[in-house]
């Protein structure tokens, strides 16, 4: 694979059924990385890709970690360690003293909260050693670019209301931990950082895991407050694996062009995402939808869950590598406003229609 031209935008979305990462060339040799996904060799796939095509990691200008769940932050400390010139952006919700106290409580790992908390702690310590604080991200705050740069990278969420709800959850978790209770598994994504990149004539929308709940939160807040008069995106990273709880009609109708190019990353745990109904819904909106890897059917997931339960009862633990890493790559001129050349690499990366045909 070749490096993109200076006047060419690239978006590469990587997925493997659990975890996702995005690499964006904003032009003139400058790159932005969003989230992190580990390869079988336990190296960040986005860094592997950049080095494979000959990119100097000093050209990475920003690293955004959209939230602290394992499927978005695994291996991020390696990225921060190696991309020394990059601004590192983290949700502002995680700056709160109560969250940092929570991090202290679960340091060393937690069955329910996973390694994401420990990964975040490593990153914060690394940035502290460099005397280079993170860019705490909240809606309508610039992450990188602007001020004469040929691009601008801005957070669209979390909103003030998202922050309030997330910190309320943290308070409840700390109270549970204080009395020795079992910490609940976090289900919602109140702190997730949706973002937008403007470069040339391109508007690129990255939905992270942002969900739809009520006014002043999630996609309601992005649409009513943060989007303003930006125009319409010609690319969207579909939020939260294409799930219905992240579907927001005004995002598609008002914030994106007709037949927008859209990419999702499947989730092959629990009940699995996207469902066939999710895929059909998205295909009804745009014919230009893609998946970075192939989801496993609910029947197969149920069968694996049953087998795993039997094995656990016999004190046998099984680690499943559900899928190899797939990549959907889009390239187009910075002065264009809708045309993309799309290529799919790896196992499972394909147009959404192929998921229904499987």
Give residue-wise pLDDT tens across range 253-295. Answer: 999 999 999 999 999 876 789 999 999 999 999 999 999 998 7
Per residue, the 3-state secondary structure of the chain, as one string, reads CCCCCCCEEEEEEEECCCCEEEEEEEECCEEEEECCCECCCCCEHHHHHHHHCCCCHHHEEEEECCCCCHHHHCCHHHHHHHCCCCEEEEEHHHHCHHHHHHHHHHCCCCCCCCCHHHHHHHHHHHHHHHCCCCEEECCCCEEEECCCCCEEEEECCCCHHHHHHHHHHHHHHHHHHHCCCCCCCCCCCCCCCCEEEEECCEEEEECCCCCCCCCCCHHHHHHHHHCCCCCCEEEEECHHHHCHHHCCHHHHHHCEEEEEEEEECCECCCCCECCHHHHHHHHCCCCCEEECCCCCCHHHHHHHHHHHHHHHHCCCCCCCCCCCCEEEEEEEECCCCCCCEEEEEECCCEEHHHHHHC
Q: What is the pLDDT of residues 37-57, one digit of tens each?
A: 999 899 999 999 999 999 999
Structure confidence at residue 198 as a pLDDT band (50, 70, 90): very high
Q: Where are the domains of the chain?
A: 8-357
pLDDT of residue 122: 92
pTM score, whole prediction: 0.89
Q: Was domain 8-357 assigned CATH 3.60.15.10?
A: yes
């Amino acid at each position: 694979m070749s490096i993109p031209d200076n006047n060419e935008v690239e978006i590469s979305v990587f997925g493997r059924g659990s975890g996702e990462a995005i690499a964006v060339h904003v032009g003139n040799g400058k790159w932005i990385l969003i989230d992190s996904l580990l390869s079988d060799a336990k190296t960040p796939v986005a860094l592997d890709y950049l080095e494979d095509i000959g990119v100097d990691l000093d050209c990475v200008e920003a690293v955004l970690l959209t939230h602290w769940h394992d499927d978005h932050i695994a291996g991020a400390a390696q990225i921060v360690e190696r991309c020394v010139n990059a601004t590192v952006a983290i949700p502002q919700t995680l700056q709160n003293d109560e969250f940092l106290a929570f991090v202290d409580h679960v340091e060393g790992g937690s069955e329910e909260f996973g390694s994401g908390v420990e990964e975040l702690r490593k990153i914060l310590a690394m940035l502290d050693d460099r005397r280079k604080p993170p860019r705490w991200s909240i809606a309508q705050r610039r992450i990188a670019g602007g001020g004469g740069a040929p691009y601008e990278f801005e957070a669209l969420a979390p909103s003030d209301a998202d922050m309030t709800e997330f910190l309320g959850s943290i308070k409840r978790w700390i109270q549970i931990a204080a009395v020795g209770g079992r910490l609940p598994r976090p289900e919602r994504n109140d702190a997730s950082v949706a973002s937008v990149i403007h470069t040339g004539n391109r508007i690129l929308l990255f939905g992270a895991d942002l969900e739809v709940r009520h006014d002043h939160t999630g996609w309601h807040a992005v649409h009513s407050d943060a989007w303003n008069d930006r125009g319409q995106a010609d690319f969207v990273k579909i939020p939260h694996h294409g799930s219905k709880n992240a579907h927001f009609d005004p995002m598609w109708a008002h914030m994106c062009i007709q037949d927008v190019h859209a990419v999702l990353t499947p989730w092959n745990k629990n009940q699995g995402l996207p469902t066939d109904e999710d895929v059909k819904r998205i295909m009804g909106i745009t014919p230009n939808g893609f998946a970075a890897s192939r989801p496993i059917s609910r029947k197969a997931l149920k069968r694996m869950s049953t087998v795993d339960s039997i094995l656990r009862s016999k004190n046998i633990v099984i680690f499943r590598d559900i899928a190899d890493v797939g990549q959907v790559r889009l390239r187009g001129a910075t002065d264009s406003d809708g045309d993309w050349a799309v290529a799919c690499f790896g196992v499972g990366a394909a147009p959404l229609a192929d998921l229904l045909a499987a």
